[in-house]
């Protein structure tokens, strides 16, 4: 993975930039000491690191605007950073950039249960948005697994999903409006209502990976908490059968809140790690439904009836909250369990759900071919796969081999009608694979949007689009 | 009808590349709001390309009649969850609504509050922009964050950035049953209050509207036992008298299509506003009007015999909302149909139009329904 060579002119501006930024930001919000900027050298894609020139931590929309205006005048690239949990390298700095962290933008600005919305500053964490409304009986639906740490700003940048988006949708379906600062310091309000009057600019900003503007405030849809939720665990002796069972559940007209899938390598690792009591089999499904006790019983009854037609090796309905917790424990510790085996690369392709058996078979073959183990966790209802490729970071060439294996899997996802990334974003990780999914005109149309919002290509410039594709625009 | 009638995406691209003046792009032309120019009719880009009920996925040519899609879905016990409005009754138009027209105008009905808008279930699309460039974005899977989301940008763009050639949608199962609870005689403020309380319960209300005749309606859908349970629970939470509607489906078609305002010569406005401010909006208009509140009060339909452009737009703006003109009636031609935007947003939108339609083929003034 390549990044553009740092601009020597900009590197030489450091003292002047620190001085100008310090005029508009509090002293402790401008970080220039290399010992401290190192804290911003990477996000959760730790394979790539580079300390920024300067990091800044503005605490208001006005401070963001003032800082961006300076960076714009000086022609300095700005890389936005939420909580740094991106698995795609979305917040990876370059040596000539200013990192703009939103960590100090944490206020709740308004809660309206009547209008079913909350307005927050975007440095607030995903889980603490729910925390602010749960006593009122509400929650914020998108639930990425990093929700304890990840910021709303990053969720909007990457259009984050989660395990429950089969029913509740992803960030874009739960975002009503934003306050955003453009690279030149202009502040725009986008959205705000349940529909746009003119062009849906909010829709294109969500998921634009911090390349169109810095979102400082967000209006989010909140939903009433369901009366209850309960999972059922099912084991099958092949992934084909598990896949057929998922399709039958969906076709029967039931819309579970989550359908999670794990394959044998993942089940074995998870069981050894967490002792969740999973059956050791080829494919495991966790299907969760919501409602009152009676509604849950009714839906689970129907789901189990469908499952029985597929000869499950295990069918276990959670009797109470404790058993529900145990069923989810394994799924939630799956990444940690795989991490016990070795370093891992977590992929994020999406496939049409009917292609699951074929894709898993092919991943198995590729695993043999590359000589690397892989486990699969999968949001089965919506086709979002998370193959975890195990490698040894200390062994020469292993990371490159894992990346090559990962690229093959993502090519496969696109080949069967899916996409490169379902919820993690492109960042730098999948940047050079964009051409697998999109042709030159498709990418040009997307880059045209960036030209309009950020004509000088200063915001997070070396991400999303292959460098050779964006070269002429980046200047 | 004269004009251009491409039967494939490449013919569409050729037609746009060869255009020498403004194009008037039409799906079924049921809005009566196509711009002036050479008609470009998408009816030839028709047909369901893929339908996988088990994956809740349908892909169709943009000119495919909505009715054809709805029939194919119904045969598998599924539907378009966003309940697209049929404009023909309200606007007195004829024509065949197409899926491309629905997508390009983000046409979303009462279930928008629970199941999302048209834009929320659009998984991918293909379009040809004003330079003749064929662009694909999104795909056919439910989760896709690969690159920028042009799907949402094109949804609701009303053909000003390009002509859709294909749309991929998420479908949903038709629930076993539905039930609507009705209260009579609530004033708008009281109706919004009741709707907000209902939408704040976990009972998954999938429609909340206040009709011009004073009825307030709350819809529940799902498995029969569950709907029964939730209807009782909702009554318990709301208090007052809530009777069960005799024909729930017919009532929501009436809300969806705003048939109460069909006929006549009044201006019809569609206002998006925070529900808690809907009653204040009605009070602020002053001039004679009738109102239908959908989306729990978040969508206010107004029928204003005098037009009321300044009153409606002014009140909506003061309350942080926005008003679009759906039927002009006596409103002067110089009043734009779409709500005003801030200068910064206008600059961005204009910038996008210049990129995607540099020759201004799609931006002729709207030939609005008189």
* CA gap A178, A176 in Å, rounded: 7
Contacts of B119 in chain A (CB under 8 A): 200, 203
The closest CB to that of A224, out of B136, B144, B201, belongs to B201
**Mutation for testing the A interface, residue in B52, B117, B144 having most A CBs under 10 Å:** B144
Q: Do B351 and A352 touch (CB under 8 A)?
A: no
Q: Which has the minimum average pLDDT: A274-288, A328-342, B211-225?
A: A328-342
Judged against a pLDDT cut of 90, whether residue A164 lies above it is answered with no
User: Is this complex's ipTM strictly greater than 0.90?
Assistant: yes
Q: Which of B140, B160, B196 sits opposite A114 (nearest CB)?
A: B196
Same topology between domain A8-103 and domain A229-334 = no
Rg (CA), chain A: 23
A196, pLDDT greater than 80: yes
Is the predicted pLDDT of residue B370 greater than 70, yes or no? no
pLDDT at A333: 87
What residue ranges define each of the domains in chain B, with the CATH number in brackets? 9-173 (3.30.465.10), 177-257 (3.30.70.2860)
- Indicate the residue of A166, A204, A379 with minimum beta-carbon distance to B152: A204
Which of these, B63, B48, B105, lies nearest to B82 by C-alpha position?
A: B105
- Taking 50 as the threshold, does the pLDDT of residue B369 lie above it? no
Question: Do the chains contact at A419 and B55, CB–CB below 8 Å?
Answer: no
A122-142: pLDDT as tens digits = 999 999 999 999 999 999 999
CA–CA gap between residue A435 and residue B121 (Å, rounded) = 25
Contact A198 B338 (CB under 8 A): yes
A272 phi and psi, to 5 degrees?
-65, -35
Q: Residue B350's pLDDT band (boundaries 50, 70, 90)?
A: very high
- Give the pLDDT score at B1: 53
Which residues from A are below 8 Å from B112, CB to CB?
A: 194-195
Neighbouring C-beta atoms of residue B31, cutoff 10 Å = 24
Q: Does A240 touch chain B (CB under 8 A)?
A: no
Model confidence at B275, pLDDT cuts 50, 70, 90, reads very high
Q: Does any CB of chain B come closer than 8 Å to the CB of residue A33?
A: no
Burial of A394 (0-12, 13-18, 19+ CB in 10 A): exposed
B115-142 average pLDDT score: 97
Considering only CB atoms, B152 lies closest to which of A172, A434, A442, namely: A172
Of A197, A252, A442, the CB nearest to B341: A197
Q: Find all residues with CB under 8 Å of B243, minimum gap 6, and list them.
A: B181, B182, B183, B184
**Between residues 272 and 291 of chain A, which touch chain B (CB distance below 8 Å)?**
291
- The order of strands in the sheet holding B134-138 is B48-52, B57-61, B162-170, B122-129, B134-138
Min Cα–Cα distance to chain B from A62, Å: 16
Q: In this complex, which of B141, B161, B274 lies closest to A351 when CB atoms are compared?
A: B141
Mutate to test the interface with A, among B147, B196, B204, B223 (most CBs of A within 10 A): B147
Beta pairing class for A98-101 and A78-81? parallel
Q: Give A161's contacts in chain B (Cβ within 8 Å).
A: 143, 145
- pLDDT for B2 equals 73
- Which option is the CATH number for A108-224: 3.90.1660.10, 3.30.420.40, 3.30.465.10, 2.40.40.20? 3.30.465.10
Q: Determine the Cα–Cα distance for residues A389 and A70; give it in Å rounded to an integer.
A: 43
Mean pLDDT of A29-37: 97
Domain boundaries, chain A: 8-103, 108-224, 229-334, 342-415, 438-475
CATH code of the domain occupying A229-334: 3.30.70.3450
Write the CATH number of the domain with boundaries A8-103. 3.30.43.10
Angle at A231 between CA A226 and CA A236, to 5 degrees: 150
Q: Is A188 on the interface with B (CB under 8 A)?
A: yes
- Residue B288 to chain A, least CA–CA distance (Å): 24
Distance CA B367, CA A247 (A): 46
Residue B366 confidence (pLDDT): 56
Q: For chain B, say whether A249 makes contact (Cβ under 8 Å).
A: no
Q: What is the pLDDT of residues A364-417, one digit of tens each?
A: 999 999 999 999 988 888 899 999 999 999 999 999 999 999 999 999 999 999
A198 contacts on B by Cβ (under 8 Å): 338-339, 341, 345, 349
Q: Phi, psi (5° rounding) for residue B361?
A: -65, -35
Chain B closest-CA separation from residue A24 CA (Å): 23
pLDDT for the residue A347: 93
B283 has a pLDDT exceeding 70:
yes
Question: A186, B342: Cβ pair inside 8 Å?
Answer: no
Cα–Cα dist A96/A110, whole Å: 37
Report how far residue A3's alpha carbon sits from residue B188's, in angstroms, rounded to the nearest whole number. Answer: 58
**For the segment A275-297, what is each residue's pLDDT rounded down to a tens digit?**
889 999 999 999 999 999 999 99
Would the CB atoms of B356 and A445 count as touching at under 8 Å?
A: yes
CATH entry 3.30.70.2740 includes domain A342-415: yes
Tokens 């495991």 belong to A284
Measured between CA atoms, the residue of chain A closest to residue B225 is A295
- In angstroms, how far is CA A216 from the centroid of its own chain? 19
**Residue of B128, B35, B39 whose CA lies nearest to B357:** B128
Q: Are B63 and B44 a contacting pair, CB within 8 Å?
A: yes
Name the DSSP letter for residue A93.
-
| CB environment B143-180: b (16+ within 10 A), e (fewer) | bbbbbbbbbbbbbbbbbbbbbbbbbbbbbbbbbeebbb
**Greatest Cα pair distance in chain B:** 64
A441 touches chain B (CB under 8 A): yes
- What is the β-pairing status of strands B23-26 and B38-41? parallel
Per-residue model confidence as pLDDT tens digits over B53-99 = 989 999 999 999 999 999 999 999 999 999 999 999 999 999 999 99
Of A114, A255, A439, the CB nearest to B275: A114
| In chain B, % of residues over pLDDT 70 | 98
Tokens of B357: 């339609």
Band the pLDDT of B33: cuts 50, 70, 90.
confident
Are B204 and B114 in contact by the 8 Å Cβ rule? The answer is yes
A129: its two tokens = 């948005």
Q: What is the mean pLDDT of residues A189-209?
A: 94
Q: Would an 8 Å CB–CB cutoff place A135 in contact with chain B?
A: no
Name every chain A residue with its beta carbon within 8 A of the beta carbon of B319: none
Using CA atoms, how far apart are residues B178 and A127, in angstroms rounded to an integer?
34
Closest Cβ–Cβ partner in B129, B229, B298 for A194: B298
Does residue B253 surpass a pLDDT of 50? Answer: yes
Could you tell me the sign of the dihedral formed by the alpha carbons of B332, B336, B339, B340, in that order?
A: negative
Across all residues in chain B, what is the average pLDDT? 95
Q: How confident is the model at residue A253 (pLDDT cuts 50, 70, 90)?
A: confident
- Cα–Cα distance for residue pair B361/B116, rounded to 1 Å: 31
Task: Pick the range with the lowest mean pLDDT from A49-63, A237-251, B84-98.
Answer: A237-251
Which is more confident, A294 or A196?
A: A294
Query: Which of B49, B245, B97, B160 shows the shortest CA–CA distance to A197?
Result: B160
Distance, CA of B123 to CA of B55 (rounded, Å): 12
User: CB contacts < 8 Å between A and B, how many?
Assistant: 264
pLDDT for B365 equals 62
* Token pair for A110: 């308004």
Q: Where are the beta strands (DSSP E) in A319-373?
A: 343-346
Instruction: Please state which of the ranges A36-50, A206-220, B28-42 shows the lowest mean pLDDT.
Output: B28-42
Q: B32: pLDDT confidence band, cut at 50, 70 and 90? A: confident
Chain A residues touching B295 at Cβ < 8 A = 194
pLDDT band at B368 (very low <50, low <70, confident <90, very high): very low
Neighbouring residues of B141: CB distance < 8 A, sequence distance ≥ 6: A350, A351, A352, A382, A383, A384, A417, A418, A419, A422, B57, B123
């Amino acid at each position: 993975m390549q990044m553009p060579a740092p601009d020597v002119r900009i590197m030489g501006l450091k003292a002047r930039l620190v001085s100008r930024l310090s005029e508009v930001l509090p002293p402790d919000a401008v970080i220039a000491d290399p010992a401290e900027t190192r804290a911003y050298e990477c996000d959760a894609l730790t394979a790539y690191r580079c300390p920024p020139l300067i990091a800044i931590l503005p605490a208001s929309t006005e401070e963001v605007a003032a800082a961006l205006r300076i960076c714009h005048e000086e022609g300095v690239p700005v890389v936005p950073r939420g909580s740094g949990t991106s698995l795609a390298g979305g917040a990876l700095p370059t040596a000539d950039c200013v990192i703009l962290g939103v960590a100090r933008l944490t206020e709740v600005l308004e809660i309206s249960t009547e209008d079913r919305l909350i307005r927050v500053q975007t440095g607030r964490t995903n889980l603490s948005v729910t925390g602010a409304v749960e006593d009122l009986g509400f929650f914020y639906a998108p639930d990425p697994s990093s929700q304890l740490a990840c910021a709303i700003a990053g969720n909007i940048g990457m259009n984050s999903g989660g395990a429950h988006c089969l029913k509740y949708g992803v960030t874009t379906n739960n975002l009503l409006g934003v306050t955003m600062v453009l690279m030149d310091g202009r502040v725009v309000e986008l959205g705000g209502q349940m529909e746009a009057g003119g062009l849906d600019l909010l829709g294109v900003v969500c998921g634009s990976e911090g390349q169109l503007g810095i979102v400082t405030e967000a209006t989010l849809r909140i939903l009433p908490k369901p009366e209850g939720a309960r999972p059922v665990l099912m084991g099958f002796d092949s992934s084909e059968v598990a896949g057929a069972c998922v399709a039958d559940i969906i076709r029967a007209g039931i819309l579970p809140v989550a359908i999670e899938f794990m394959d044998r390598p993942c089940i074995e690792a998870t069981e050894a790690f967490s002792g969740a009591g999973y059956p050791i089999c080829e494919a495991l499904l966790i299907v969760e439904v919501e409602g009152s006790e009676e509604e849950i019983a009714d839906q689970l009854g129907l789901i189990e009836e469908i499952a029985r037609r597929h000869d499950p090796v295990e069918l276990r309905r959670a009797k109470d909250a404790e058993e529900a917790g145990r069923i989810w424990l394994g799924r939630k510790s799956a990444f940690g369990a795989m991490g016990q085996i070795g370093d891992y690369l977590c992929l994020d392709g999406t496939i049409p759900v009917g292609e699951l058996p074929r894709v898993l078979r092919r991943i198995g073959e590729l695993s043999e071919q590359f000589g690397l183990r892989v486990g699969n966790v999968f949001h089965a209802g919506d086709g979002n796969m998370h193959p975890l490729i195990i490698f040894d970071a200390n062994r020469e060439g292993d990371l490159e081999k894992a990346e090559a294996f990962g690229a093959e899997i993502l090519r496969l996802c696109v080949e069967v009608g899916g996409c490169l990334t379902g919820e993690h974003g492109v960042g730098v990780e999948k940047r050079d694979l964009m051409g697998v999914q999109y042709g030159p005109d498709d990418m040009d149309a997307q880059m045209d949007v960036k030209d309009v919002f950020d004509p000088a290509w200063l915001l997070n410039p070396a991400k999303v689009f292959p460098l050779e594709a964006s070269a002429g625009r980046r200047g | 009808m004269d004009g251009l009638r491409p039967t494939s995406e490449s013919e569409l691209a050729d037609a746009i590349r060869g255009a020498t003046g403004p194009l008037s792009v039409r799906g079924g032309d049921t809005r009566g709001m196509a711009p002036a120019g050479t008609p470009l009719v998408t009816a030839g880009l028709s047909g369901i390309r893929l339908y996988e009920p088990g994956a809740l996925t349908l892909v169709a040519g943009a000119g495919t009649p909505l009715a054809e899609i709805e029939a194919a879905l119904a045969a598998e016990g599924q539907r378009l969850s966003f309940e697209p409005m049929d404009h023909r009754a309200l606007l007195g138009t004829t024509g065949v609504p197409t899926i491309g027209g629905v997508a390009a105008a983000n046409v979303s009905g009462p279930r928008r509050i629970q199941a999302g808008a048209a834009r929320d279930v659009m998984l991918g699309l293909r379009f040809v922009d004003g330079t003749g460039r064929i662009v694909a974005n999104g795909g056919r899977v439910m989760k896709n964050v690969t690159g920028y989301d042009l799907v949402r940008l094109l949804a609701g763009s009303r053909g000003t950035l390009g002509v859709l050639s294909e749309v991929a949608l998420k479908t949903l199962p038709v629930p076993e049953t539905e039930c609507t609870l009705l209260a009579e005689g609530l004033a708008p403020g009281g109706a919004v209050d009741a709707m907000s309380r209902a939408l704040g319960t976990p009972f998954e209300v999938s429609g909340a509207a206040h009709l011009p005749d004073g009825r307030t309606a709350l819809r529940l859908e799902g498995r029969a036992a569950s709907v029964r349970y939730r209807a009782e629970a909702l009554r318990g939470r709301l208090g007052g008298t809530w009777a069960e509607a005799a024909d729930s489906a017919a009532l929501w078609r009436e809300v969806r299509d705003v048939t109460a305002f069909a006929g006549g010569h009044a201006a019809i406005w569609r206002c998006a506003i925070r529900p808690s401010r809907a009653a204040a909006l009605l009070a602020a208009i002053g001039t004679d009007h009738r109102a239908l509140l959908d989306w729990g009060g978040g969508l206010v339909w107004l029928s204003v015999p005098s037009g009321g452009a300044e009153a409606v737009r002014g009140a909506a703006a003061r309350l942080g909302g926005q008003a679009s003109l759906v039927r002009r009636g006596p409103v002067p031609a110089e009043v734009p149909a779409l709500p005003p935007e801030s200068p910064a947003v206008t600059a961005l939108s204009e910038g996008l139009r210049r990129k995607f339609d540099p020759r201004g083929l799609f931006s002729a003034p709207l030939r609005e329904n008189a």
